[in-house]
Amino acid sequence: MDIPFIRETAMERSGIAYMIAKRINHLQAQKAAATTWRERRARINTISPGVIVTPLAYDEFAAAGEGYQQMIDASAAMRTGTADEIAEAGAFLLGEHAGFITGTDLLIDGGVIAAIRTGMYKLH
């Protein structure tokens, strides 16, 4: 892809390159599944969580806590999320009130991506 951000930043920083590749693959697979499974009347949705407090997150905070804290501080929620919040969103997507939702990704990140898109937080 000839996108300046990818050419100038992601190719020189493996963490950013990994994050972009993972996100693109995730969204492409989710969209393909939503149409492939339609014959079975299945609804295919995905959830993209942000910084969620889990045992693994504590390990990541220990390794790169300052960067995570800056990201959290720049987000609209100004806090980490919880596993319960992700579970509630999943329950909604699986429930009867979400019967017309399919082929979409629910971003649950407290506003981190919005902060990145508006320049309030810069990826390092």
Active-site positions read 18, 22
For 30-93, the DSSP string reads HHHHHHHGGGGT---EEEEE-SEESHHHHHHHHHHHHHHHHHHHHSSS-S-EEHHHHHHHHHHH
Q: How far apart are CA 82 and CA 53, in angstroms?
A: 5
For 82-109, the DSSP string reads EHHHHHHHHHHHHSGGGTT--SEEEEES
Q: In which element (H, E) is residue 4 found?
A: helix 4-8
